[in-house]
Structure 1
Amino acid sequence: MFPGMKALRRRIGAVVAVLALALGMVAGLPGPAGAASRAGCLVRTSLGRVQGAPEAGTCSYLGVPYAAPPTGARRFRPPAPPAPWHGVLPATVAKPGCPQDLTDAGGGGVEDCLHVDIWSSRAPGGNKPVMVFLHGGADVYGSAGDSGYDGAELAARGGAIVVGVDYRLGVLGWTELGGLDPRYAGSGDNGLRDQIAALAWVRQHVRSFGGNPRDVTVFGESAGAISIDALLAGHQPERLFSRAVAESGPGYLVHTRDYAQAVASRVLTAGGIRSIGQLDSLTTQQVLLLQQKAQNGLSGLAGAVFFGPYIDGSLVPGPVVDRIAAGSARNVDVMVGTNENETDYFAMFEPAVLNYPLSAYRSFPAVLAARKQQMFDVYAADRPGETEGRVVNAMLTDQLERVPTLRLAEAQSHWRPTYVYQFDWHVPYVEGLPAAQNLGAMHTLELPFVFGNLDLGRVPRGAATVAANRPALTRLSHDMIGAWTSFARSGAPGWPSYTAAVRATRIWDLRPSVQDAPQENERALWNDYSFPDWDFLA
């Protein structure tokens, strides 16, 4: 889609929706409860009526509350049910996301942020598959309203209902305060509780928007995928969703209890906080400044995983892969995947990342230290002509993302057919440019293809590449949308399932293929490493 067209279409849709709402107020209620008016996208839920905006092939409903505002006495409490409303709830304009750091000078978002954005396919019939998206952002930034997560194209092309979720971030969503006041035990997983509340809301209300509440798929990327891993390790996740897609989010990054307590201690110490009352007295801006202070001095990797879900023994009973191996998700269809060059993402912020020598690879597992050079040599032999820094990043991608993800897939495959993909497409390299201008299939790069917006404006030469290759890239996007929505409908995305014996993997590139055990010699180098829960604060 051309730049600006989506925003223009949404403004036009909002005007049409207002006119339709005015006509509805004159003519009375729409048709049967739960049926979306094709003219005005007006639906009736058990909480009240909701007015959306028509778009090409969809109705969008933006900023619909799934929980009560987490403000005042609810600030560090689990989410409470939303209150019904009178009249018609206008849902034609995106609402702010949850509070988050945006610049060194300040943050954005509002604390009254527990909303969902819904894009409903206007294809005939109901009982459409439902796809609930949990955004990434290191659990400190991001919003369902981000333009890259606009679900209109995915919903329209896939004949689905797409739901984006806003959930509490940073200090407000992921700080365990039980040590400060026992009444707040479990607050370190409030972001996860928000997601659970949103999924429960979807199960209860999505039929009003044309969706099938028994056909819900949760999908997420990065921090959102890590939350999905935590949910899969919980008690009977099938009560919330039937299927799950985790994109670039290894389950080993779900925190331990000790880690969560260390994060809380760092936060409270940074602000000299000794009581819940002190925390409650802080303004939103002061909370964000406290959060920033707590993260000052952390390495890039420690900062990226500082906040997030943790193993509390109840909501998340134990380590993710152990729980999945024991059958916690035996009734859930699972698809997982990673991108070929995940860590290239960080070079957009710190170009030196791609030039790190082997000696600077400090997060390499100590138990494998004797094999470090040997492993490097194997990776280097598979990448003739690559720089030392590129080879180190390939190893780091496998340590942080690919191999742990395959461990989860293997654990789940004992209980249910499980599917694995790898996203390999990237902006073509240009000889002579600095390494940070020649990025591979980095973290997050699959998202513009899954959502169908092909917005690569932040990737070096991304917009020009799309302009020059739109037909081919559109075909790749359509193939991926077809796979994601096929999985949402049936639990089968269109390629063989993954097993330890075959390791069938869908490779996403301009010519998608299925490969058995890609980069197997590299994966096998990690066989003796158990991937314990990492402690990046040590």
Structure 2
Amino acid sequence: MNRRSFIKKSGLTSIGLGAVSPVLKKARCSGHAHASIVARADHAVVETTAGKIRGYQDHGIFTFKGIPYAATTALQNRFSPPKSVTPWTGIRDALAYGPICPQRPNKGWASEEYAFLFQWVDGYQGEDCLRVNVWSTRLDKHAKKPVMFWIHGGGFFSGSSQEHPSYDGRNLSAFGDVVVISVNHRLNVFGFLDLSAYGDQYAASGNGGMLDLIAALQWVKNNVENFGGDPNNVTLFGQSGGASKITTLMNMPLAKGLFHKAISQSSSVAKIASREYASALTKNVLAYLDISARNIDTLHQVDYRRLIEAAIVAEKKVSESAVGKKVPRSGWQPVMDGVIIPSHPFYPNAPEFSADVPMMIGSNRHEWSASIGDSAMEALTDEGLRKKLMERYPEKGEAFYQVCKHIYPHAKPVEILSFLNPYNPMAHVLAEVKSAQQQANVYLYMFAWETKLLDGRPRAYHCSEIPFIFYNTDRCATMTGATEEARLLSEKVAKAWINFARTGNPNHHGLPEWPAFKQSNGATMIFNNVCEVKRDPDRAFRKFYLTL
């Protein structure tokens, strides 16, 4: 079946713009079409609550980058809740990505194969980083298009809205006729240093990064109509750390009503930091900087590079201490303060604040691909696997080995090792507690498509689904191979995300029927060259893993 026949048969022509749109024909995934950029003083000008901005058109898609949604966080505003943007006169340019939050160097560049796959765009660092980027097919306040709000990964300590080429929103906006928005916010010590013990002015400092996201969503509510979006149909979607930020937002009273659907991709967070853990991080930061309660305000004068040094040292010390071993995920993260975040996001139950918000939740088959950057791991033997499991789980390693070999009798030892991560079991756990509320549908998925690049060793690795969701498989050729196989799957995956954003239901003609998840049915959509729904495919593995 050729591409045109597939699109017609699968029903993909029903997306927003109708039959394969002129915008999409120009954009495609490849980026090899003739240049079509329009950037003029009087073109792509939009009014916002702070003043007018000017963007540009990229293959028909109106594009705006680096729009400030809240005031600079530098110096006097460090560790405070985000402030309103000071309005400007005239027209402000929104043509290039803004600064990213200061953060530690990206260690991924040290691995040639990871660098090849991801092709990171590190950007430039600065504390004036509270910026959003917008892609839209039409600047019409009456268009009421679904809004898809992307939150980047990198835990709560690194990353940005532009760090991966896969994050570019042009093709997704064109394919789905949706408004795509991505966001930068404060991270690590800048967004999550809990100074509440040092004065009322710092009461919210431990959750500053999450309050930034609230401010960005409030900006969307107040401004997105002028970009063609519907402020009453906003879907959050994010991966890894971005997904964890989404599950946290779902338990923040201040976020209620600012979004209406949520998609969590590869999140392992049901709990966040306690006051004890956050306090330990803070004490280590202050000790490194030789700052005490008496001169706490001198934190505002510390160079941001020195703050990053302190944050790295503090994170290492706390993770090695007793308090660091009491948390499911160490490092910088929000703090359960009882006010801004009243309880753990999804433990023991899903939050009541967002009970009526439909969700999609999922993970990738080989999140911890064990042989990226180490081809020798492909030769791992059964005995080698047993040894690694015994080292990691001294008391249950042998039993775990027997369980894995029984459940996955045909999997290579290196593949089994790649399964041993919290993302797959936690996706099911989050779906269980969400569906138990019986107030909104939840859809569970697993992305299982394996790249052929690097001899196929990465498999369905962490982040590998993102180019498919953004309809960027050709733009991200070093991840996907830019094959027709990848393009066809991308049409199915992107359409599911778009339909969910549009209606709360990801089903479409290109997929088998995807039932809403219930504990009784365990319905899980497996995204692969042949997509299929399975009933709780990893049940035995998950049950044992959660006892470790």
User: Normalization by structure 1: what TM-score?
Assistant: 0.82
Alignment of 1:118 onto 2:142: no
CA distance in 2, matches of 1:73, 1:497: 48
Alignment of 1:70 onto 2:73: yes
Deviation of the 1:51 alpha carbon: 1.0
- What code does the residue aligned with 1:117 have? N
Deviation of the 1:265 alpha carbon: 2.5
DSSP-derived class of the 1:320 partner = coil
Q: How many residues align?
A: 489
Q: Given the superposition, is the C-alpha separation of residues 168 and 428 from structure 1 closer, same or farther in structure 2, using an over 3 Å criterion?
A: same
Deviation of the 1:145 alpha carbon: 2.5
Alignment match, 2:44: 41
Deviation of the 1:419 alpha carbon: 0.7
What RMSD over aligned residues (CA atoms) do the two structures have, in Å?
3.4
Query: Does the 8 Å CA contact 1:358/1:388 hold for their aligned counterparts?
Result: no
Query: Does the 8 Å CA contact 1:376/1:391 hold for their aligned counterparts?
Result: no
- What code does the residue aligned with 2:529 have? L
Deviation of the 1:164 alpha carbon: 0.4
Q: Deviations over 1:275-299 (max 9, x none)?
A: 4333212112222222233345768
Deviation of the 1:386 alpha carbon: 4.5
- What code does the residue aligned with 2:268 have? P
DSSP-derived class of the 2:270 partner = helix
Query: Does the 8 Å CA contact 1:425/1:441 hold for their aligned counterparts?
Result: yes
The answer for unaligned runs of 5 or more in structure 2 is 1-26, 110-121, 508-513
Q: Given the superposition, is the C-alpha separation of residues 65 and 201 from structure 1 closer, same or farther in structure 2, using an over 3 Å criterion?
A: same
Q: Deviations over 1:198-219 (max 9, x none)?
A: 0111011100100000000111
- What code does the residue aligned with 1:180 have? Y
Query: Does the 8 Å CA contact 1:174/1:187 hold for their aligned counterparts?
Result: yes
Q: Given the superposition, is the C-alpha separation of residues 89 and 236 from structure 1 closer, same or farther in structure 2, using an over 3 Å criterion?
A: closer
Alignment match, 2:481: 466
CA distance in 1, matches of 2:379, 2:229: 45
Query: Does the 8 Å CA contact 1:77/1:184 hold for their aligned counterparts?
Result: yes
Query: Does the 8 Å CA contact 2:131/2:184 hold for their aligned counterparts?
Result: yes
Alignment match, 1:93: 96
The answer for unaligned runs of 5 or more in structure 1 is 25-39, 532-538
CA distance in 2, matches of 1:377, 1:282: 53
Q: Deviations over 1:168-222 (max 9, x none)?
A: 1111111111233343123111111101110111011100100000000111111
- What code does the residue aligned with 2:252 have? G
DSSP-derived class of the 1:164 partner = strand
CA distance in 1, matches of 2:328, 2:355: 33
Query: Does the 8 Å CA contact 2:238/2:265 hold for their aligned counterparts?
Result: yes
Alignment match, 1:448: 467
Q: Given the superposition, is the C-alpha separation of residues 107 and 512 from structure 1 closer, same or farther in structure 2, using an over 3 Å criterion?
A: closer
Query: Does the 8 Å CA contact 1:127/1:210 hold for their aligned counterparts?
Result: yes
CA distance in 2, matches of 1:406, 1:164: 27
- What code does the residue aligned with 2:94 have? A
Which of 129, 153, 156 pairs up with 2:174? 156
Alignment match, 2:366: 341
CA distance in 2, matches of 1:419, 1:69: 38
Q: Deviations over 1:468-519 (max 9, x none)?
A: xx21211111111111110011111112100000011111111211112112
DSSP-derived class of the 1:100 partner = coil
Deviation of the 1:253 alpha carbon: 4.8
CA distance in 1, matches of 2:45, 2:238: 28
Alignment of 1:482 onto 2:482: no
Which of 347, 350, 363 pairs up with 1:322? 347
Pairing of 1:119-138 with structure 2 (within 5 A) = 119-122=135-138, 126-138=143-155
Query: Does the 8 Å CA contact 2:214/2:254 hold for their aligned counterparts?
Result: no
Q: Given the superposition, is the C-alpha separation of residues 336 and 114 from structure 1 closer, same or farther in structure 2, using an over 3 Å criterion?
A: same
Pairing of 1:117-516 with structure 2 (within 5 A) = 117-122=133-138, 126-146=143-163, 147-235=165-253, 237-274=255-292, 275-296=295-316, 305-322=330-347, 324-325=349-350, 327-344=352-369, 347-348=372-373, 357-361=385-389, 369=395, 371-384=396-409, 386=411, 388=413, 390-394=415-419, 396-397=420-421, 400-414=422-436, 415=438, 416-428=440-452, 438-454=457-473, 463=478, 466-467=481-482, 470-494=483-507, 495-516=514-535
CA distance in 2, matches of 1:285, 1:87: 34
DSSP-derived class of the 2:235 partner = strand
Deviation of the 1:344 alpha carbon: 1.5
User: Normalization by structure 2: what TM-score?
Assistant: 0.81
Which of 57, 60, 67 pairs up with 1:57? 60
CA distance in 1, matches of 2:78, 2:541: 46
CA distance in 2, matches of 1:329, 1:521: 30
CA distance in 2, matches of 1:381, 1:164: 43
